[in-house]
Every structure is written in C-alpha cells, then in structure tokens.
Structure 1
Amino acid sequence: MVSTTLRKIVSPCWRPSVENEGQNSGRGDDLGCRVDGLWWYKDLGQHVHGKFSMAVIQANNVLEDYSQVESGPMSLEALGPQGTFVGIYDGHAGPEASRFISDYLFDNIKRYTSENQGMSADVVNKAYLATEEEFLSVVEKQWLIRPQMASVGSCCLVGIICSGVLYIANAGDSRAVLGRMDRSLKEVQAVQLSTEHNASLSSVRDELRSSHLDDPQIVVLKHKVWRVKGLIQVSRSIGDAYLKKTEFNREPLLPKFRLPEPFQKPILKAEPSILVQKLNPEDQFLIFASDGLWENLSNQEAVDIVTTCPRNGIARKLVKAALCEAAKKREMRYSDLKKIDRGVRRHFHDDITVIVVYLDYPLISRNSFREPVISVRGGGDANT
C-alpha cells in the first residue's frame, strides 16, 4: 500500500518485522529506539518544546497501533511556524488504517497549514477529513481483491504545540491528559483534554440517537457492552468504510460486518472533536495514550506516576503500571503475564501506546528554534 522507498523516507524509527523481534530496529538505534520482545520504546528524546518519551506493548497477533512524534516545521513554507506534532493511532480489524494515518496525516497538516498561512482548528479538521478520503480511496481501489480493507479502521488522537497554543484533536477513544501544577494545593492535577467517542458513554449514545432518529438500533447493548449497530464501540474513526459508505457493506465483505439493510448516511464520522487553548507556565506535561492504558489507570494515577518518576523511560513506566493492574484484575502476577505471547495476550490487555510530552515553558514562549528536526515513528510491522 505504501512503497518501500516512501517508508524508508518517513520511518526513521520503525518497528522491525515479527521475525526480527528482540533485535534493535536498524536506523532506530541511532535515535535511541529499541525493540525488546513485545516492547517498542524510546525512553527519552528532545522536541522543540522539551523532552518526550514513547512506549508500545503488543497484545494482538499483529500490532495494530502506530504512533509518531514530529518536531520542527509545521508547514511546507521555509519561514512557516515551528512546533511539535504527536499522534496516537489505535487500529482495529488490522493495522492498515493506523499505518496509513501515520504515513499521511502529518503531511496533510503541513499542507493545510501552508494553504491557510498558519495553524488552526480548521487546518486540523481538514487534515483529518483529507486523510479519511485518501484511505477510503485506497479501500475502493482494493475492494475486489482485498474487501476486508473496508472493515479496517483506526482511532486518531493528535496533539499539536504551535506558537504557544495547544491543539488536541480526537476521533475515537484514545485520550490526552494534561498534568497541571495547582499552586494553591502545591500538587500536579490531571486535566483531561480530549473528548472520547465510545458507545459506552451515555453522551455518545445520545449523540448517535439524535443524528439517526430513524434507526432505533443505532446503538445495541450486546454482551453487556454498548456497540454502534452491535458491531463497534467507537462512533468516530478514520477508515471503517463499511459503516461510512453503503457500497462497502455488501459481498464480498465478510458476513459478520454486513448490515441487513442499506443505510442512507454514514453511521460513523471521521470529524475530530478539537480543543484549542494557550499553554501557561503551570502546564507541566501531556500524556497521550490509547484506551488500553486508561482501562487500567485513572487520569490522576497516570499523572502521579509521571510527576514522581524520572523522565527517562517514563512512558514504559506507565505501560508497566497498566500491565500490573491488568494482571491484578486476573488474579495473576505481572511476572506471569510477561510470559504470555502475543495473540493470547489480547485476552488480558489491549495493544497499549503511550507518549509523554514534557512542556518547557521558556521554550514554548520563545519565537526561534534551533533544535534539529525530528521524526520518530513507533509501532507496527515494517514488512506488512
């Protein structure tokens, strides 16, 4: 789907293939990226506004999560804005959509920033929708030979720091949490920044029902879990063409994805919920993570870990804390969970991706940048 040449250009820190698991990741060695069994991680790096840490743990047979940190130019113009871009792409039914987003979303952000002569919520929204249309075009082209592509999708969480302003965009159920110093309490408080789109939330079910008044089965409680059309928990995503365009909800798509009646308008949406706010000196760090982390840790628990532990390896520390909680829920030890291989591991926890971005306010508030451009990609399988 993406040429080998293109991947070499855009992926300086890609996870190796499953056959090479346990070995370090080629060019990634130079960037401090490592693979160890089911782990992929970069313990500490420098972005234009401070330090960052990344970690991924695999649970599925094929890792469906992709992620990235891009720091430097936020547009195609030589004198355009500088900043930091963070992306968490939690795929489902396969890695193709999350990989595609990793390859194209940031480029679309830069293109629209150039066209609009600056970063804005509108730029981010346009980039999401352009990436969606590009992926659906791939689905259409491969429909007869790979119809299962119509069932592949991905949640998409993005954070952008540009000109002292923070943009958080989300489609799906990944989450961004800010650690903010409360001067009166003298402690760092958790502030959730992203809006989630999961049918388990009553507000999401209400939104779906109000936008699909003619469909009493738009959300269905199935095995004690609320699902859109009884099929999927998230109400927004990139991909999932089978719930966006009725022409993809038919043979030769697998029967389990097909609805009995054609639909008149998209069931799922790709538009993100977007928050825009200025950063201030009290803002200490940001935690971006797929829902696998938040199923096991509360916002404040995650913030407390980042506040009290060293920066080096902090993303791995958060993932391990979540794994310990997952093991405890199943009345087992973390040491026993570590012995469970991918695939079977999915019965105990999801793929988990975490990126922690520290905020150095003097760097955020200045107008010039001298740090080198960085591009770090995490997760996935280089040979798929």
Structure 2
Amino acid sequence: MFSGVKKNASACWRPVRRYARMNKDTNDDDSTHHDRNDENSGSNSGARTSFSSDHPLLWSRDLEKHFLGEFSFAVYQANDVIEDQSQVEIGRNATFVGVYDGHGGPEAARFISDHLFLHLIKLAQDRRTMSEDVIRNALSATEDGFLTLVSRTFKIKPKIAAIGSCCLVGLIWRGTLYVANLGDSRAVIGSLSRSNKIVAEQLTKEHNACREEIREELRSTHPDDSTILLMRQGVWRIKGIIQVSRSIGDAYLKSPELAMDHSFPRFHFNEPIRRPVLTAEPSVCTRVLKPTDQFLIFASDGLWEHFTNEEAVELVHNSPRMGIAKRLVQKALKKVARRMNLKYEDLKNVKKGERRKYHDDITVVVIFLDHDLLNAEHSFEIPQVSVQGFVDTCGPSKFNVLQQTT
C-alpha cells in the first residue's frame, strides 16, 4: 500500500481488532489485557500488587525479585484509555524492562508490548548471543510488524496511521546492561561516587524537538524542508505536529503516500513529504555493570516532567526499597498538585481523562542491582515470569527458551 513498509509476517500476531480499535472503542480495555496466562495471578514470590483502594488509577508491584536483585514497578493512569504500556521479564540470568509511551491512542504501545520481547528472544536464540544488533533488529522487526498492520487496517480505521509510541528498553544480560531508546522516555542509573555519594547518570538520548541537538539533526536531514520544525504554542514541533523525532508507528509521518491521504484531514499535509519525517532508528548503549552501580530507573516522560535525574536518584537512594516506584509516582503527583494550587486529595479525585489536563500517564520501573548475586550460587530458583504494567496477572516468561544461549 505504501512504500518503505515491509510485509514481514509476525510469528506472534494477535487479532487485528486488538490494535485497530480506536479510543472510542476501548471501554473493554481491561478484558483485552487479561487474555494472558493467569495461572500465576498476583505474586511470583509473595510480592504486594494491587490497584490501590485510595488511588483507583494507581497500579503497583511494590517489590519483586529478579536474577540480580529486586525491582519495584508502578503505573498511574491519566488518559481516558491508558497509553503507557510496560513490562518486566525475569529470566534465570537476564532481566528485560520495556516502557512504551503511546500517543494518538494505545494501539502501537500495545503492539510493542506484545511483540518486541518475542522478537528479541527469537533473534537471540537464532544467533546464540545477545548484542546491540540483536536489539536493533528486534526493534526494526516490531516497527515493520506495526506498519504492516497499518497497511492492512488503514481503510477500516484510517486513524491508526497517526498512532505511535516511544519505546524504552533495558536488558541486563548477565553482567552487561543494554539500553535502547526511541522518543523521550528516560533511563537513569544511580551509582556511588568515590566519596560514597549517590550520583545520577542519564543513559538515554531523548529524541525530542525541544532539544537543540535534535533540531539541528532534523534540519540537517531535511535541508529542503523549511517547515520541518515549527513553533506551536511555545513548543518546537516537527511539522508543527509532534515533539518526538523517533518512534514506532506514526506511519503517516514516514510515508509520503499516507501524508497526503485525505482520509484523516486533521493530519494530512498540503504538500508532499520527500522523505520520512520520523524514524524508528534507536539510540543504543552498552554498559558493563560496576559494583558501584546501585539501581536503574526506567520511566516514561510522565515522571521526568516533574523530576530531575538527581531528584529521582536521591529519592530512591534515601528511601526503603519497598514500594519505591509507587513513591516516585506519588511524589510526582504532589508536585503537580502544588504547581496547580490544588490539594493533593483533590487531585486524586480527578477522573481519568480529565486529569490529562494536569499530568500524563506515568510509568516507573526501579531495578536494584545486588552485585553479590551475579556470581553467587542461588539458594533459591528465581521464577521466570512476565509482569505487565497495569495488569494484575503475571505468567511465565519466554526467557526460558534462552537458557542454553551463550
């Protein structure tokens, strides 16, 4: 249907209606998520998990085990239909974190959650190793799969061409950390300095037009497009529409044919685009974890709008591990309340959808690093489980297929 979109078939397709559904069709959103194997519903090791009674839009798993320590996970919904999707996959010698911040609707983020990790597992199994190339190729296969879905469903649901998602991935593979990013979610590591003080280091590059570096990159790659960057309501936006320069999806910003399609007048361009406006090329980095590295924070920009790296790292370092992801979310909401001259209790009572005026969906995963476990003989077996944000069930992780991978 449109050039540049590969027709690769995914080995893990789910029914098209799961992704082609638009916001007005998603009142049964929870039921679509509970099709996972729920035999291990709740906790994998006695962990605390729930939708909080005093925060009906807050979901958390306060403390769980992974092969190199513990992790805490929390999600707070602001949109009428939650657009943040997220997952933590626990393996015998590996931990995977995915934070997918959707925009225009939840479909692209859901698709990533369903497919990216499976692509990663298959590629690592085929190559018998893990590498930056494996991660890049897994992201590329996910992009190809979603764009193929768009080409199949565009005539039925044209708006799907305007749906996309940021994508933040973290993978601890034995003693090595891989981080890949598309968009403006962020991964930060907290490490001890020589003076034993906690120091924040940002591991990801944010692909957002608010950054001069990104604007220069866009002007360089689109020298013949005087409208590649436009200021709208005091904010730099690509083509005056979107702030992030890299994403999964957003097909109409990557396909000249769709950019001129009149099926969705709100989005189409009056003049053709000569090349894709956005890309799905991730920034990837690798880091051999050091004994001074204490923890990792993976979060959507819903958190980082209210915290500096240093503030977040200090809070994690100086607080109990139990429920730390939830504590970060609650602190962010208290900052929102103060900024808006609201009482915190009043902000908590604002309904989903309406509260998007105050803050975005927020996803936070904190991964603690207990280095003495790296080469230790475990006295217990770490359950290999898959935990999905905002879903109170968990099932077995596909990591087990990699047990023999070197």
User: What secondary structure is seen at the aligned counterpart in 2 of 1:256?
Assistant: coil
Q: Which residue of 1 aligns with 2:192?
A: 181
Query: Kindly tell me: are residues 347 and 28 of structure 1, through their superposed partners in 2, closer, same or farther at Cα, counting changes over 3 Å?
Result: farther
Specify the SS of the correspondent of 1:29. Answer: coil
5 Å-filtered alignment, 1:1-384, equals 2-3=14-15, 17=29, 28-31=41-44, 32-36=48-52, 37-72=56-91, 82-184=93-195, 186-365=196-375, 370-379=381-390
The one-letter code sitting in structure 1 at the alignment partner of 2:50 is R
Aligned partners of 1:156 and 1:238 also within 8 Å: yes
* Per-residue deviation, 1:29: 2.5
State the AA in 1 paired with 2:219.
Answer: R
Give the TM-score normalised by structure 2. Answer: 0.84
AA in 2 matched with 1:224: G
* 1:202-237, Cα deviation, whole Å (9 max, x unpaired): 000000110111111111111101101000000000
Distance 1:246 1:364, change over 3 A: farther
Partner SS for 1:310 = coil
State the TM-score, normalized to the length of structure 1. Answer: 0.89
Query: Could you give the per-residue CA deviations for residues 82-132 of structure 1, whole angstroms, max 9, x where no partner exists?
Result: 311000000000000000000000011111112222111111111111100
Contact persistence 2:79–2:355 (CA under 8 A): yes
Deviation, 1:246, is 1.9
- Whether contact under 8 Å (1:60, 1:351) holds in the other structure is yes
Q: Distance in 2 between matches of 1:59 and 1:380?
A: 16
Query: Partners in 2 of 1:381 and 1:359 — Cα distance?
Result: 25
- 298-307 or 327-336: which moved more? 327-336
* Equivalent position of 2:9 in the other structure: none
Equivalent position amino acid for 2:112 in 1: I
CA distance in 1: counterparts of 2:168 and 2:152, whole angstroms: 26
What is the distance in 2 between the residues matched to 1:117 and 1:269?
A: 28
For the aligned residue pairs, the C-alpha RMSD in angstroms reads 2.4
Counterpart residue type for residue 211 of structure 2? L
Q: Which amino acid aligns with 1:58?
A: Q
For residues 140 and 239 of structure 2, the distance between their equivalents in structure 1, rounded to whole angstroms, comes to: 23
8 A Cα contact 1:43 1:316, kept in partner: yes
Residue type of the alignment partner of 1:51: E
> How many Å separate the matches in 2 of 1:112 and 1:367?
28
Bigger Cα displacement from structure 2, 108-117 vs 344-353: 108-117
Distance 1:218 1:313 in 2: 43
| Partner SS for 1:257 | coil
CA gap of 1:339–1:90, structure 2 versus 1, over 3 A, is same
Q: Secondary structure at the match of 2:219?
A: helix
Q: Is the 8 A contact 2:42 2:392 kept in 1?
A: no
CA drift of 1:33 comes to 3.1
Q: Is the 8 A contact 1:143 1:150 kept in 2?
A: yes
The Cα shift of 1:296 comes to: 0.5
User: In terms of mean alpha carbon deviation, does 265-274 or 371-380 score higher?
Assistant: 371-380
Q: Which amino acid aligns with 2:137?
A: K
1:350 is paired with a residue of what secondary structure? coil
**Structure 1 residues 132 and 44 mapped into 2: Cα distance closer, same or farther (>3 Å)?**
same
The answer to whether the Cα contact below 8 Å between 1:246 and 1:262 also exists between their aligned partners in 2 is: yes
Contact 1:181-1:188 at 8 Å conserved across structures: yes
SS across alignment from 2:389: strand
> Aligned residue pairs: how many?
360
SS for the counterpart of 2:218 is helix
Amino acid in the other structure paired with 1:60? N
Return the alpha-carbon distance in structure 1 between the equivalents of residues 186 and 376 of structure 2: 28
Q: 1:367 to 1:249 in 2, by over 3 A?
A: farther
Deviations 1:2-57 (A, max 9, x none): 349x99xxxxxxxx95699xxxx976434443123111111111111110011010
CA contact (8 A) 1:65 1:379 kept: no
Task: Determine if contact 1:198/1:235 at 8 Å carries over to the other structure.
Answer: yes
The answer to whether the 8 Å contact 1:57/1:353 transfers is yes
Unaligned runs of 5+ in 2: 1-12, 20-27, 394-406
